[in-house]
Amino acid sequence: MDDRPLHGVRVLDLTNVLAGPYCSYQLMLLGAEVIKIEKPGHGDLARRLGPEPALNQAGVGASFLAQNAGKKSVELDLKDPRDRAAFEGLLADADVLLENFRAGVLARTGYGWDVLHHINPRLIYCAISGFGQAGPMSQAPAYDQIIQGLSGMMSITGTPETAPLRVGFPVCDSVGGLVAAMSICAALTGRSRTGTGVHLDVSMLEASLSAMGWAASNYLVSGIPPEPMGDQNATAAPSGTFDAADGPLNIAANRQQQFEVLCRLIGRDDLTTDERFADREARKVNRTALNREINSALRRRPALEWERLLSGAGVPAARILSVPQTVELEQLRQRGFFTDLPFPGDPGRRLRVNGNGVHVNGAPLRPGSPPPLLGEHNIEFDIHDADVAVTTDEVSAP
């Protein structure tokens, strides 16, 4: 018996690229049945995105493979009368409808919230967009980088010399997807009490600004705008990236006790009695001088030795790893974070995909099948062979 929390929940997924597919991937890992509804003959735009041209050409680009394991795929053209009938049949039995079109696009196809709610009063309808369903920016196209810039995120990423910089992965897409998944789970809980569905309007801009937390709230409270500080932590010192003998080392000695232990272990007890570093506020003011003294001591040993010594004594410290190094961490292997699956369309090749860091009753959440080929589940849901499709080009792709 499947004991995952969303077992028995059916999600119709109209989304493309990342924010929406990332949301539905989280729902799938939590146990939901996710049915991707894709443009006939073309499918999710991410099918053609990734570093391997051959996979992109085959419609199984790496960007698609990363977020779509465990889902099913059917092809429907919502401008075709037969496909609309099939879609409405699926809607009648669905728990969630997820889309990331530009605001108002689904309504213009005839499926606004009033229609959806009439077809299925228990349906939870979640729309992810760059800026939300209303407001002066609601019709603007949005991708992750656009949101990173507008949210203020890029303005505080990097150093004073290098900012603004884009965060090195599509963080706004991911945050938008997580907020949508959280909201859907909350709506499902609410429906168990009320019996009726709700319309969820998720703005990537607002979700990203919310996730920026202290950077935004400190300004709202103090009126002092945040500034780019590179790898340093604005709230504490010593807290940032330092220089070990063989490379960088992150240390976050944010508490007084941690600072004192750090100084003892690097052989610099004298720093704890220096009035420039006596307390948190003094250390922040004299951060540059303090970092210089700590770096001088840290250069005597390699980063891994310091990581083990400091972390073992309760001082947060760790090396800075590359992605290839991170995926080989024994911690991830023992936790079962990755799942190996048959490669779609090539059973002789293996595909490794991420989990989400959640264990249920001691077991990691895993996809049970590889990402689907386009239209792979048409027959299962009695979808006819698609004709040449004419579909909207008004898709936003957050």
Residues marked as catalytic: 173
Q: In the structure encoding, which two tokens stand for residue 366, read together?
A: 């895993």
Extended strands (E) in 274-345 = 317-319, 339-343
User: Is residue 290 helix, strand or coil?
Assistant: helix
d(CA 351, CA 372) in angstroms, rounded, equals: 13
The token pair at 3 is: 């004991």
Q: In what order do the strands lie in the sheet with 247-252?
A: 239-244, 247-252, 317-319
Q: Dihedral through CA 167, CA 171, CA 172, CA 175, nearest 10? A: -150
Residue 64 is encoded by which pair of tokens? 């698609």
Asked if the bond preceding 238 is cis, omega within 30° of 0, the reply is yes
Phi, psi of 332 (to 5 degrees): -70, -40
> Nearest-CA neighbor of 166 among 143, 189, 188, 183?
143
98 pairs with which residues across the strands? Answer: 13, 126
- What one-character DSSP code corresponds to residue 358? -
